[in-house]
Structure 1
C-alpha cells in the first residue's frame, strides 16, 4: 500500500555491502528490489569487502550503469571497501561515496518491499529525525520457522524480534540491515565503529549500529531516531542459520559485542534496552513456551529452553568480552568519515 500523500523530493543513496559470490543471486535480487521502489532511489552503491573476484564480476554486471544510464535511470556503482575487512568499514565506504541527502542500508541477502524508501522518507518530515529504520521479516529456507526457534530471538537471524514496539515509534537505535540516516548524522557522530561488527567469515558479531546510534544521540541531543514497521524488508535465512549451533554461536557473539558497546558508550546507555528485554520480554516468552508445552502445542518446550539457553550463552559472552576489553585485548575505531562532509 502506497503512502497516500506526495512526499518532498528526497534523494536516497542505498548502500548494499557484499562479500561473497555465494550470494550472487541474492545480491541481484536486492538491487532489483531497490530499482522497483515507489520512491526512486537516487543511486545504489554496492560495496565489496576485499573480494577481487566479486568486485570484478559486479563491475562487469553493472558496467553500463553509470550516472543516468542505469535501468530506469537509477545509477548502480560498485566500490571496493576502502577500509579494513568488515561490515562497518564497508558501510563507511558507502557513506563516504554517497551523494544523496539520506543514506539507506539494505542487507545483501534481503529484498525491500515497494514502499520501503517512501516510508523512510515520510519519517524525515520532522527535522529532528536523524535516522529511520524498518521491520525485517525472516524468509526461512525450510519454508517456515523452526518449531523450537523463539520469536524473541529473531535478532539472531538479523530480523525484527518480539518485544520491539509496533507502529512508528521512537527508539534508542535502528537495526543496521534495514535503516536510513540523514547524511548530516555522520558529520555529527562519525561513522560505524570498526572492530565491533561482522568481519568476513569470523564470529558473527554485531551491535555496530547500536553503538553509532548512541553516539549520535550524544552528539545531537535533540536527535530523534524512529522505527516505522511499514518499511519492510524480507531477509533470507539459510538452512545453516536455522540450527541450534548457529543460534548458540550468534548469541555468544552478541554478548561479546554488547561488552564492546558498553566499553564505548557506557553500560547505562549500552544496555538500557536490553534490561527491559531480559526482565520482561524473555520471561514472558519462557512462560508462553511452557504454557504451549502443557497444552501439547508443538515446539513450546523447545522455545522455552532456547530462550533460557540464549540468555545464558549471551551472558557468558558478555563476561568474556568485558574481561577482554578491560585487558586491552580488543580495540576499535569510530572516527570521522573522510569524504562525507561537503
Structure 2
C-alpha cells in the first residue's frame, strides 16, 4: 500500500490556531500518513513553539532559500514516503483527503494529484466577488480546466507528487516567488513588483516534460478548506493579487514557454470569462443583486492581470537587451 508524508509550511504565529487545525485534520484521516512534517520559514519563535507544543510531528526550520519553495523542498528532503503531500497551514483537509489522493497513484502514469480547494470564508464574501476569480484567494475557481480527471497542475494548497518525480525534476524553483520587476520613471527596467505565484505550475510543466505519458490527476473527493480572512475580501487585495498573478504568469511564460505556461489561461480568457460576464449581465437585468458588479470585477480583474503581464514581459525583454554583450547589441563583427 502506497504511503505518504505530509508537509505543512508555516511562517507566522498569527496562524497558530489554523496551523493546529491543519495538523489535526491530517491526524484524522481515514488513511494515516507515514509522517507529518511542519516546516517553519524564517520565524524561530514559531519553530520553537511548534516543536514544543505540537506532538507527533517533525518540526524543521527552512534550510533553503526563504519562501514557500524553499520550505517545501526542506520538507520534501526530510520525507521518507514515496508520495509527498503539501497542505497549507491555513487549510484543513476532509477526512478522506489522503485516501482519495493516494488512490490516484494506483495508476503508474500519475505523477501527482490534487483536489478541490474550497474557500472557508471568515465573513460573508462581498457581493461583487466572482467565483471565476477564487484563485485570488488560493481556491478552486469556476471554469478551472479539468479534462478526463487530468489537470495541468494542482493548486499548491492541495497538492501531492511522487517523491522520485519531485527529485528527478529538481523540485520547486525559487525564481517564482522572489523575482521582482517594475519600471523606473525613465522607463528603464527595474525590479519592483513581486511574482509570488505559479511555483507549482512551473514544476508540473517541467515534470510532465521529463515523464512523457505522465499526468497530474484531479480527485474531486480529495477536498480541503482554505481559510479566507476578511483582509482578503477587500477590493485592494483583489487588485494586489491580480497584479501579482500577471507578474508571475509573465515569469512563468519565460521559464516554461507561452504554449505550455499559458495554455489553460488562454481557454480561461477566451471562454470562461466572456461567458461569466454575459451570465452576470443577464442576471443583473433580471434584478439579481451584485451581478453587475461581478461582471465589472471580472473585466477589471482581467485588465489588471493583463497589464501586469505585459509590463513584466516588456521589462524582462528590456533587461535581456541591456545585458547582452555590446558587440551583439550594436552588430560589431557582422
**When the two structures are superposed, what TM-score results if normalisation uses the length of structure 1?**
0.87
Query: 1:113 — aligned with what?
Result: 94
Gap change, CA 1:328 and 1:94, over 3 Å in 2:
farther
Query: 1:17 — aligned with what?
Result: 9
C-alpha distance after superposition, 1:236-262 (max 9, x if no partner): 000010111101100110000001111
* 1:321 Cα deviation after fit: 1.8
Instruction: Specify the SS of the correspondent of 1:230.
Output: coil
Query: 2:330 — aligned with what?
Result: none
Query: How many residues matched?
Result: 307
Query: 1:157 — aligned with what?
Result: 137
- Mapped partners of 1:324, 1:228: distance in 2: 38
- Correspondent of 2:173 among 186, 189, 193: 193
- Correspondent of 2:84 among 103, 106, 127: 103
C-alpha distance after superposition, 1:100-147 (max 9, x if no partner): 1100010110100000000001111110101101100001111x3321
* 1:317 Cα deviation after fit: 1.0
* 1:166 Cα deviation after fit: 6.1
Query: 1:217 — aligned with what?
Result: 208
* 1:197 Cα deviation after fit: 2.9
C-alpha distance after superposition, 1:267-322 (max 9, x if no partner): 11111000000000000111111111111111101100000000000011111221
> Contact conserved, 1:47 with 1:79, CA < 8 A, in 2?
yes
- Mapped partners of 2:100, 2:304: distance in 1: 36
* 1:326 Cα deviation after fit: 2.6
Unaligned runs of 5+ in 2: 180-192, 321-334
Runs (4+) of structure 1 moved beyond 3 Å? 165-168
- Mapped partners of 2:108, 2:47: distance in 1: 37
Query: 1:175 — aligned with what?
Result: 155
Q: Decide which structure has the larger Cα Rg and report it.
A: 2
C-alpha distance after superposition, 1:146-204 (max 9, x if no partner): 211000000100000001256961111111110100111112211111031379xx957
Gap change, CA 1:198 and 1:174, over 3 Å in 2:
farther
More displaced 10-residue stretch of structure 1: 111-120 or 181-190: 181-190
> Contact conserved, 1:167 with 1:228, CA < 8 A, in 2?
no
**When the two structures are superposed, what TM-score results if normalisation uses the length of structure 2?**
0.89
- Correspondent of 1:301 among 283, 292, 295: 292
Unaligned runs of 5+ in 1: 1-8, 71-75, 330-342
Query: 2:113 — aligned with what?
Result: 132
Query: 1:324 — aligned with what?
Result: 315
